[in-house]
Structure 1
Amino acid sequence: MTDTPPPSMPPAKPPPKSPPKSHGRKSVRPSLKPRQLMDSHPMLAHAWTAQVITLFPEAFPGVLGLSLTGKAMQEGRWQLDTIPLRDFGIGKHRNVDDTPAGGGAGMVLRPDVVGSAVEAARARIHRAAPILYLSPRGRRFDQTMARDLATRPGVTLLCGRFEGLDERVIEHYGITEVSLGDFVLTGGELAAQALLDATVRLLPGVLGNADSTEEESFSNGLLEHPQYTRPAQWNGHDIPAVLMSGHHGEIAKWRRARSEEITRARRPDLWATYEDTP
């Protein structure tokens, strides 16, 4: 007589996994595109917030959705809120601009349109977040400003177009004008992305290694020293011997000397300020 085997038991279900302990972390699938980092998640209450008022919201997050800044957005360390200026346009065609008072070429962004957009933006961001207008006549953006913005709850950026923005908006809201340099772009979107990249990388936890911001250009008033990596010899060029010596004191002295040499040669304005600093 043959024994009948007992019915097989179904495999036991694994215990449910506990949710990750992360404050405000965004769950992102590997296939998620940069733009979806913004569109598929609610606003986070305590994350550093960048608002961008723009005629081209589809330009964002752009490169900000990639690499370290994209990963930081994914993790909820910061968030991006675009405010489409066209939504506040006038009439059937959503007009946002008009001809310059007093005549002249080009068009000027209307104060009633931009004002409505600013009001809508400011209603959903901490009042301590400054409002900046990307403008070639503004204060030069630098590392000091990036550090200051990183300590704020966020920032509202206004991207100009055409001949610019009605001056009354700047005066009414106390907007600070900021420039990337002595050149003119067709709009403020690229400048806004550059400003945000420089700022977001300074937020806690974004770079991973906080020491990496200590020795880079402008951190101590100087340009950064040269960098090298393996192989030790490439196309007849060797890594400087001091960097291979293991003597950390001598390495630090070499790096400081090269930073001073490069700054003095390439940026006499920075060098003058550095020399005058006690």
Structure 2
Amino acid sequence: MRIDIITVLPELLKSPFEASILKRAIESNLVEVHFHNLRDYTSDNYKSVDDYQFGGGAGMVMMIEPIDKCITQLKNERSYDEVIYMTPDGERLNQGIANSLSLCENIIILCGHYKGVDQRVRDTLVTKEISIGDYVLSGGELGAAVLCDTIIRLIPGVLGNETSALTDSFQDNLLAPPIYTRPRDYKGLKVPEILFSGNFPKIEEWRETEAYKRTKDRRPDLLDEDV
């Protein structure tokens, strides 16, 4: 997989990809991540990427020209499955979206700034709009990093245990069940005995029950009780 990220602040984005799982995925050639500074595609001496909005109003708007130039150049080099714009009013990111995007070969992620991008970018260049939550950040870079993490960890070979991602919260619309490790008894706080039974079908049944209980308690909106 190749991910091209268009941003005005590439330095803000690079550090998450220089450590841990993301770094190992890149070094193992399981994914390529490339950063493109939008200011390199401007046509004036000031390297301007934004301007005042027509009709008046507070806040600057990212111009279509440098964005179009960058995306066009990338598309001339390869085909892309998606051109994603990170925006608060996009589709809220969930595990299903991450699963789908992890199957892509090439994607572009455009990081918004200021009041956002010229609407013509969204109308003609973007194929998918994604939000990481109902709040506003200073820019799309942190959202892009979150999106990349959710996608890359699902690529086969990235995680040490291939089944680990399949048992994460939200993969089956349930939160993950409680998990435990050593010591077995810590200051009187004991691990459930079922986990030491060796009866793996029963253990899985316990985990499913606990996952359902936790979901019903914390995220009942994930359960479709009418089905």
**TM bucket by the smaller chain?**
over 0.9
Shift of 1:276: 4.8
The structure-2 alpha-carbon separation of the partners of 1:174 and 1:187, relative to structure 1 and needing over 3 Å to count, comes to closer
Q: Which residue pairs with 1:234 in the alignment? A: 186
The structure-2 alpha-carbon separation of the partners of 1:59 and 1:123, relative to structure 1 and needing over 3 Å to count, comes to farther
Q: Which residue pairs with 1:15 in the alignment? A: none
| Alignment match of 1:80 (pick from 33, 38, 47) | 33
Q: Which residue pairs with 2:120 in the alignment? A: 168
Q: Which residue pairs with 1:13 in the alignment? A: none
Q: Distance in 1 between matches of 2:32 and 2:15?
A: 13
**Structure 2 length as normaliser, TM-score?**
0.96
Q: Distance in 2 between matches of 1:124 and 1:62?
A: 26
**Matches for 1:42-57 after TM superposition, within 5 Å:** 48-57=1-10
**Matches for 1:257-268 after TM superposition, within 5 Å:** 257-268=209-220
| Alignment match of 1:59 (pick from 3, 7, 12) | 12
User: How many residues end up aligned between the 2 structures?
Assistant: 227
Shift of 1:236: 2.1
* SS of match in other structure, 1:211: coil
Shift of 1:60: 3.2
Q: Which residue pairs with 1:122 in the alignment? A: 75
Q: Percent identity?
A: 35
Q: Which residue pairs with 1:90 in the alignment? A: 43
The one-character-per-residue Cα deviations of 1:78-133 (angstroms, maximum 9, x if unpaired) are: 01111110111231111111111111111000111211121122223333x20000
* SS of match in other structure, 2:183: coil
* SS of match in other structure, 1:181: coil
Q: Which residue pairs with 1:41 in the alignment? A: none
Query: RCO higher in 1 or 2 (8 Å CA, sep ≥ 6)?
Result: 2
**Matches for 1:78-227 after TM superposition, within 5 Å:** 78-127=31-80, 129-227=81-179
* SS of match in other structure, 2:204: helix
* Letter paired with 1:54: T
Shift of 1:184: 0.5
**Structure 1 length as normaliser, TM-score?**
0.79
Q: Distance in 1 between matches of 2:77 and 2:10?
A: 17
Whether the 8 Å CA contact 1:61–1:80 is kept in 2: the answer is: no
The one-character-per-residue Cα deviations of 1:175-204 (angstroms, maximum 9, x if unpaired) are: 311000101100000000110001001111
Q: Distance in 1 between matches of 2:113 and 2:125?
A: 19
* Letter paired with 1:237: L
Q: Which runs of 4+ in 1 moved over 3 A?
A: none
Whichever of the two has the greater Rg, that structure is 1
Shift of 1:216: 1.2
* Letter paired with 1:197: D
Q: Distance in 2 between matches of 1:132 and 1:174?
A: 6
Q: Distance in 1 between matches of 2:18 and 2:77?
A: 22
